[in-house]
Structure 1
């Protein structure tokens, strides 16, 4: 592969590790290929990321050293600009020896070692490597039949395996932010450390530590599991520009407790709830100003994700019914007025806003919105979840919209979350 700003060689010690690291780059739009050995590694490769499996985890340390160093030499001859040494997230295998094999080629100033993977319960705190909260040496990894790990302290494990001086960035350094990390890195480098490991107990630690390291050198041997690999495209500005996805708009007119629970999960996922207070607008007529319409329009224009609800709170329902009784309206008439207001507000929003689609919860609400839009039918496309369909409809003015309809007292707790995700994906 010819040297480019994207060129990276990833050297892994087994195939599954090669794949789970490669996918961190591939899912960010980078052409990634995994090779079962380094035989196919050459200067004409076209992938942005080449991952080589040396199959060296369970072999004797000298053999692992030789295999990894050979792969690194071929990568250098092929013109790769960046190197990543994939490590097992439970530190099995010849972790230190394989890092040393690459460092001994003098291609890098130092190795930054962050094997933690918080998403899977692997974290480093104060140099202690913990697996689901337990010291690594007390877990089943210490009884692994092929590659047992008896050492819990990450920097000590690296020192024992390499014979090199190892520095460590601990939680006190990280708590001081990037400047504190830079100072710690400089201190270790001035002390002659060519391997520097780091704590990481949260995902955000990878990027801040990597940014600090990159500010000191362009020749770093990045060493870790999928956690560190995930942030490197962002660090090097390699990630493909994300597709701009317009939010979906949700109108929940049902007073069902099932819908309330679904709205709660939707709000927890990042949606903002705006409640339509109907009690003061039972004499309202379509076309008259309505403050809720303005509130929703402003929120959507600002890029916020909105779920418009009515009757979300029990006291709101009671207030609306009481207000209706004072006007001589039956509960049915009150319900029809609520649907009419939701339908008009929904139609005004859907005509004016660029959204990925709409979710309509409650049969009366769905009909009211469709009528207000002049929709005469819905083309059914697919199922979001069992018996919750996604379809397409065309407004009176010819605007095409994706729509998910859901009965009020129906669906799993995450039904609305799945519906909005489906709409954004279809867009």
Structure 2
């Protein structure tokens, strides 16, 4: 008979906010009661959950800062009593040649398991079209560097060979667990990993084409102190704890409170998926576009957006406020403002709008984009989230803890169906069901 542990079993560190909720969603689906913190909590007070996810904003900051923040998160998770640790990054392996996936994985592996340890690196998420074969990452039917990610404004991905990408980021030797081994099951994967470890490999890209492959990898890594990857590979971890008699059933893992109040959609991502979602919303619903150049000139963009929202709230209409733009439009803004300033300006503007909307009675927020989500939750003073049921693959409903909760859907830019915004609002309206 299995029973739920009184202390957290799995401690996770995510390099952005929507990636954290994506991972937490996967764990909840596996029956793990999951709490997500926004940044490293200041208190060591015990948290009641099966899994803890610390959401950092470390994907694009200097590597040394990303390492320091990740190690601080690891220290907190250790203090909570976690038995195993997971470093989560994007399913499109978003990074630069300088990091931050390699440096952070190196530091966490050293801290968790020592010099001779080995971990896997597997960003595969088949449910969202991310698969890995012979070490190459596919998005749908095309290689990563042909998927649109080559145009990402902060972390353009121009190489689909993940062994090569990761090796450029780390002095550790990088290897490959080919599909040949994965297809033969967990025992074959363990044998391959041991061969790689003896050969001096510390990080191994792992092929995966299906959820069954992710379950195989999870089982093969049951005894690893550290696992790294996208949220997909976490699909196999709850079963490990259940087999060990440490985790109970799945019935109440996704329960959230029902939140009353107004609703809004905020979008800052420039991804293809979010552009399509914005276009779908604008076909029949009210939307207000943020112009970063106008904001840079000091025009009252925040006040204009709030006035637009106030007008439509009178008719009980949720609105979309967005800075989403095409790659060509993004390049125009970046040429004038610089990439870093342009990104920060959009985040700060949407965060200020979120704060103003809260004052107008908005309690349900759908937010598109990892950086945007991070800025919004900080502006709203959100510290911890309980994770609920899935809205679309990789995107769960969430609710803040405390007496006056907010309902949030924090979406990675690349995730969600074309009608995601309307679907998410319907879901948050009935989050208790």
Q: TM-score, normalised by structure 1?
A: 0.52
CA distances 1:281-329 after superposition (whole Å, capped 9, x unpaired): xxxxxxxxxxxxxxxxxxxxxxxxxxxxxxxxxxxxxxxxxxxxxxxxx
Structure 1 segments unaligned to the other structure (5+ residues)? 244-427
CA distances 1:333-374 after superposition (whole Å, capped 9, x unpaired): xxxxxxxxxxxxxxxxxxxxxxxxxxxxxxxxxxxxxxxxxx
Following superposition, the deviation at residue 173 of structure 1 comes to: 1.7
- Corresponding residue SS for 2:19: helix
CA–CA separation in structure 1 for the residues paired with 2:126 and 2:239: 18
1:80 aligns with 2:82: yes
Following superposition, the deviation at residue 105 of structure 1 comes to: 1.2
- Identify the residue that residue 9 of structure 2 maps to in structure 1: 7
- Identify the residue that residue 163 of structure 1 maps to in structure 2: 171
CA–CA separation in structure 1 for the residues paired with 2:239 and 2:215: 8
- Corresponding residue SS for 1:162: coil
Equivalent of residue 130 in structure 1, options 134, 138, 141? 138
- Identify the residue that residue 407 of structure 2 maps to in structure 1: none
Following superposition, the deviation at residue 137 of structure 1 comes to: 1.8
- Identify the residue that residue 225 of structure 1 maps to in structure 2: 230
Following superposition, the deviation at residue 189 of structure 1 comes to: 0.8
Equivalent of residue 105 in structure 1, options 104, 111, 117? 111
RMSD: 2.1
Does the CA-based 8 Å contact 1:4-1:80 persist in structure 2? Answer: no
- Identify the residue that residue 247 of structure 1 maps to in structure 2: none
Equivalent of residue 95 in structure 1, options 87, 101, 104? 101
CA–CA separation in structure 1 for the residues paired with 2:63 and 2:139: 24
Following superposition, the deviation at residue 145 of structure 1 comes to: 0.6
CA–CA separation in structure 2 for the residues paired with 1:167 and 1:35: 33
Structure 2 segments unaligned to the other structure (5+ residues)? 252-433
Change in 2 beyond 3 A, CA 1:206/1:5: farther
Alignment of 1:229-248 (within 5 A): 229-237=234-242, 240-241=248-249
Change in 2 beyond 3 A, CA 1:202/1:111: same
Does the CA-based 8 Å contact 2:216-2:236 persist in structure 1? Answer: no
1:61 aligns with 2:70: no
Change in 2 beyond 3 A, CA 1:30/1:176: closer
Higher relative contact order (CA 8 A, sep 6+): 2
Does the CA-based 8 Å contact 2:126-2:210 persist in structure 1? Answer: yes
Does the CA-based 8 Å contact 2:7-2:81 persist in structure 1? Answer: no
Alignment of 1:275-314 (within 5 A): none
Following superposition, the deviation at residue 167 of structure 1 comes to: 1.7
CA–CA separation in structure 2 for the residues paired with 1:129 and 1:221: 22
CA–CA separation in structure 2 for the residues paired with 1:194 and 1:10: 20
Determine which structure has more spread, i.e. the larger CA radius of gyration: 1
CA–CA separation in structure 1 for the residues paired with 2:23 and 2:71: 20
Following superposition, the deviation at residue 136 of structure 1 comes to: 0.9
CA distances 1:61-96 after superposition (whole Å, capped 9, x unpaired): 222122112211222233221101111001113222
- Identify the residue that residue 195 of structure 2 maps to in structure 1: 187
- Corresponding residue SS for 1:38: coil
CA–CA separation in structure 2 for the residues paired with 1:239 and 1:128: 34
- Identify the residue that residue 20 of structure 2 maps to in structure 1: 18
Change in 2 beyond 3 A, CA 1:150/1:163: farther
Does the CA-based 8 Å contact 1:41-1:75 persist in structure 2? Answer: no
Q: TM-score, normalised by structure 2?
A: 0.52
Following superposition, the deviation at residue 151 of structure 1 comes to: 2.2
Does the CA-based 8 Å contact 2:131-2:137 persist in structure 1? Answer: yes
